[in-house]
Amino acid sequence: MFIFAAHEDPAFLEKLAIGLREAGHRVETFATSLAAWDALKPRPGPDLLIAAVCFNEPPNGIALANHAVCCHRGLRMLFLGPGQLRRYATDLGPFLATPCAPAYVVDVVEQLGLPDCSTLSSPRPAPGAAVEP
């Protein structure tokens, strides 16, 4: 699977990319949502966009996701962010409350599969992860 991952935490992003690549995925990482936004335009798109809901600079992860869907119909989404922001992302794709371990995100990606993301089960929480009811 070809995955775009956009997150402002470089250590998290690096560990996530390593885990996804070890699981056999092709990954491009972006430290800003704007960089991911620009990368979506001129090329064949990814199968999955993993994006933080919040970024220090615009656009936010929700705007990025809406842009991505316009550019690449059928693109799947996975959002990461503070639990209280879940309501803003759930119409677009699954949401994982942060903080969570990059390995946990990789596990969830493996559960998503393609093309149907409706098979996501309730995965086990990562150690120290915020759990939403």
pLDDT of residue 21 exceeding 90, the answer is yes
The CATH number given to whatever domain includes residue 55 is 3.40.50.2300
Number of structural domains found in the chain: 1
CA distances from 28 to 1, 2, 128 (A): 11, 8, 27
Look at residue 42 in the predicted model and tell me its pLDDT.
64
Look at residue 90 in the predicted model and tell me its pLDDT.
67
Task: Determine the longest span between alpha carbons in the chain, in angstroms.
Answer: 40
Q: Is residue 127 part of a domain?
A: no
Q: Is residue 54 part of a domain?
A: yes
Under 8 Å CB-to-CB from 29, ≥6 apart: which residues?
Answer: 4, 5, 6, 7, 13, 14, 16, 17
Q: Is residue 131 part of a domain?
A: no
**Domain span including residue 63:** 2-117
Q: How far apart are CA 23 and CA 107, in angstroms?
A: 9
Q: Is residue 95 part of a domain?
A: yes
Q: In the numeric block, which tokens belong to residue 50?
A: 């993993």
What tens digit of pLDDT does each residue of 37-72 get?
A: 999 876 778 999 999 998 888 888 889 988 888 888
Predicted confidence band at 129 (pLDDT cuts at 50, 70, 90)?
very low
Q: Is residue 122 part of a domain?
A: no
What tens digit of pLDDT does each residue of 89-123 get?
A: 767 889 999 999 999 999 999 988 754 333 333 33
